[in-house]
Amino acid sequence: MNADKGLTGSPVCSKSVNEKDINRHLDNNCADDVPTPSTQKGKMSQASLTSLFTPFGKAAQSSSSYTQPSSSRSGHTRKRSEAEDLSAADVTPLKRPRITASSRLQSVAPLAERLRPQSLEEFVGQPHLTGSNSLLMRQLERGATGSIIFWGPPGCGKTTLARLLAKRTNAVFKELSATDSGIADVRAVVEEAKNLLALTGRRTVLFLDEVHRFNKAQQDIFLPFIEQGYIQLIGATTENPSFRLTSALLSRCRVFVLERLTDDDIRLIISQAVERVSQIESAQTASAAGSQQRTADEAHVIDDGASDVASSQPDIEEPLSPPSPPFSQSAQPDAGSSTAQTTSQSPSPLFPAYPHLTPKVLSTIVSLSTGDARTALSLLELVLSAPPISEEGALLGALRRSVSTAYDRSGDARYDMISALHKSVRGSQGSAALYWLARMLSAGEDPLYIARRMVVCASEDIGLADNHALPLAVTTYQACQIIGMPECRINLAHLVSYLSEAPKSTRSYEGYNRAEEAAKLDPSIPVPLMVRNAPTGLMKDLGYARGYKYNPEYAHPVTNDYLPIQFRGDEFLRKEGDKRDKVWDEDALRQWEFEENGGRPWSGRPSESGDAPSKSS
């Protein structure tokens, strides 16, 4: 074959070039390294094969590097385009926000736990402890609080106050509960506190909730650590520390009493909680709306650049606006005149975000909480989770059914109520006595416990003024044993009403107290011979019962030596109507006349001509 067959001369450089390569030769500025068809075919095959196993972005980069001339400017352009491709690949997938374990636990916590105050300035209630001039705050200014015991009812802020105190003093806060902890847990905290104090100088505050649950042996574990200053103990208890804590622990701690929160405190706590919840929900709504907007924008960009399928989204996107709240007057500016007048005449809700939280619902929450902030926030959480169109009556009924009576048969509330019942009977206040009786029985108190107390009351307060009171009380106790609840509540109401209206006399009770005081002066005083027992002749010869006059044998009164010589002439049981040692308080009498006697003078007042009793204290 002719070697020059198929060759032609280049019109530019006059070189011989294959006819089919003449155009490529001219495009390459008459370069000598014109690829042959076999070489070009091989490279094209390699590129095709590479595109099958290479992502779209990298394949594009490979092809671009092959077709573009090698120059510094083109190299910078290629690097910039590669960086843009890589950044686009990284931005395209939407990343979800990272959710930690602590955030998950916090999200399921009750509202009362999530809304705990973060500083002492946010703490509500207990002004006698958090005030600037209080002993606790003055001690806090010195950088330490010492070991203290918080005694108060549930939900008054004991745990929150302990955390805030530790935070203010920059101390490490360790929290244990006596219900599920023991001595081993306390020792572990103390060892860690010792090491931390030696290395960094930071103190450790150990908060022990329900400290009264520790027995005496467990409470003694704190004594050396408190004395040496390794830890600062803050104990919280709902029981009286005088009865439940050891004297050794109490001597090393100061007891601060937290009072039940007032209604104003509860209202303030609820208002602040609603405000914070509204802010949180508004932030979450705005974040969700922004996330949806970004998702829509990213989907639009991906559809435009990565697919030829027609997008369902419009070419011109309108900005997303948050949905308007229901029943909002501002959301309906063009509404009819009747609707606008009705909206303008209706009273504005206390909390626009929660229109079903009406003043009556708020007052009910305050009343049902009885000074317990935790209960108030729990009830508030139920209300906020209800639909905004909930009826007020149904909501109030649900709230009342969700609260149980707080009554601990082993706590101070039991003894406070039985004391109130006894004092009401003593004061002849039958209505008050029946109220406390109903409170205790409705809470599940043992009726025999109340009946036993009324048996004592029958002799202590009614006594000699009505000798039928004690038999009635004993009979009522037997009726409670035989019948039981709920019927025996009628027997107890009968007894309580009778004792309240019965005349009162404490002569026997007070007489015994005076006799007991005298008996304790000298327990070794012998019995007078005249009133000793003489069952044998020897005892009679020794003078036992000599000179004793048997009273029934005489037609007239006789006397014997009944008392030791030291107390002869003393009158322990005084005569009826004896007013010695009784207090005359004119102010208290006038208050009784005004509040309980209709403003009428007491019939027992001395006459104006007579001498008025002297006021004693």
Instruction: Report the CATH number that the domain containing residue 132 is assigned in CATH.
Output: 3.40.50.300
pLDDT grade for 5, boundaries at 50, 70 and 90:
low
Q: How many CB atoms neighbour CB 437 within 10 A?
A: 26
Instruction: Please name the residues in contact with 600: beta carbons below 8 A apart, sequence gap of 6 or more.
Output: 593
Return the closest-CA partner of residue 494 out of 477, 482, 476.
476
More confident residue, 426 or 406: 426
98 pLDDT more than 50: yes
In terms of Cβ atoms closer than 10 Å to its own Cβ (0-12, 13-18, 19+), residue 492 is buried
Question: Considering just the CA atoms, what is the radius of gyration of the chain in Å?
Answer: 46
For residues 433-450, give the mean pLDDT. Answer: 92
| 233 and 367 assigned to the same domain | no
188 or 614, which is more confident? 188
Average pLDDT rounded to a whole number, residues 472-481:
96
Residue 7, pLDDT > 50, answer yes
Residue 327, sorted as left (phi over 0), alpha (psi -120 to 50) or beta, turns out to be left
182 versus 286: which is more confidently predicted?
182
In a domain, 229, yes or no: yes
Mean pLDDT of the 537-555 span: 87
Q: Which two tokens stand for residue 219?
A: 């409470």
Residue 539 lies in a domain: no
Packed helices 447-457 and 488-501: angle between N→C axes, nearest 10 degrees: 20
Q: Quick one: CA torsion of 53, 58, 59, 60, rounded to 10 degrees?
A: 160
pLDDT beyond 50 at 166: yes
Q: In Å, how far are 419, 462, 597 from 500, measured between CA atoms?
A: 14, 9, 16
Decide: 172 and 196 in contact? Cβ < 8 Å.
Answer: yes
Highest mean pLDDT among 44-48, 271-275, 318-322: 271-275
Rounded mean pLDDT, 111-124: 86
Based on the domain organization, do 274 and 189 belong to the same domain?
no
What is the domain extent for residue 415? Answer: 411-504
Average confidence (pLDDT) over 363-384: 89
Residue 513 resides in a domain: no
Q: Answer with the one of 483, 504, 525 that is the final residue of a domain.
A: 504
**What's phi and psi for 56, nearest 5 deg?**
-60, -45
pLDDT value of residue 58:
42
pLDDT on residue 452 = 96
SS3 at position 212: helix
**What average pLDDT does range 101-112 have in this prediction?**
68
* 246/189 same-domain check: yes
Q: How confident is the model at residue 298 (pLDDT cuts 50, 70, 90)?
A: low
Compute the average pLDDT of residues 532-558.
87
Q: Percent of the chain scored above 70 by pLDDT?
A: 73
Q: What values do phi and psi take at 9, rounded to 5?
A: -85, 140
Same domain, 381 and 268: yes
What confidence score (pLDDT) does residue 106 get?
Answer: 61
Q: How confident is the model at residue 204 (pLDDT cuts 50, 70, 90)?
A: very high
Whether the pLDDT of residue 299 is over 80: the answer is no
Residue 153 within any structural domain of the chain? yes
Calpha distance 83→546 (Å, rounded): 127
Q: Cβ distance 406 to 303 under 8 Å?
A: no
Is a pLDDT exceeding 50 seen at residue 54? no
- Average pLDDT, rounded, for the chain: 78
Tokens 């070189």 sit on residue: 15
Q: Are 545 and 534 in contact (CB under 8 A)?
A: yes
Instruction: Please report whether residue 17 resides in a domain.
Output: no
> Which pLDDT value is given to residue 250?
93
Q: Which residues partner with 205 through β-bridges?
A: 173, 232
Show which of 363, 378, 406 is a domain's final residue.
406
Task: Summarize pLDDT for 386-422 with one digit per residue, the tens.
Answer: 888 888 888 888 888 887 666 666 667 788 899 999 9
Spatial separation of the C-alpha atoms in residues 142 and 153, rounded to whole Å: 29
- Is this model's pTM higher than 0.75 or not? no
359 with 421, same domain: the answer is: no
Both 184 and 238 in one domain: the answer is yes
Same domain, 171 and 278: no
Site of tokens 């150990």 = 206
CATH code (residue 433): 1.20.272.10
Are the CB atoms for 198 and 164 separated by under 8 Å?
A: no
User: Is there a domain that residue 31 lies in?
Assistant: no
**What average pLDDT does this structure show over 489-511?**
94
Mean pLDDT lowest for which of 336-350, 381-395, 407-421, 497-511?
336-350
What is the average pLDDT across 40-59?
45
Percent pLDDT > 90 in the chain is 30
Domain-ending residue, one of 228, 260, 292: 260
Strands (E) located in 154-237: 172-177, 204-209, 232-237
Q: Are residues 277 and 391 in the same domain?
A: yes
Do residues 167 and 242 both lie within one domain? yes
Contacts for 393-399 with beta carbons within 8 Å, 24 or more apart? Answer: 395/356, 395/361, 396/360, 396/361, 396/364, 399/361, 399/364, 399/365, 399/368
| Residues β-bridged to residue 383 | none
Number of domains composing the chain: 3
Query: In this structure, are 253 and 267 located in the same domain?
Result: no
For residue 62, is it within any domain? no
In the numeric block, which tokens belong to residue 601? 């003078």
Q: Let me know whether 201 and 279 are in one domain.
A: no
Query: What pLDDT is stored for residue 214 in this prediction?
Result: 93
Residue 478 lies in a domain: yes
Asked whether residue 498 falls in the same domain as residue 401, the answer is no
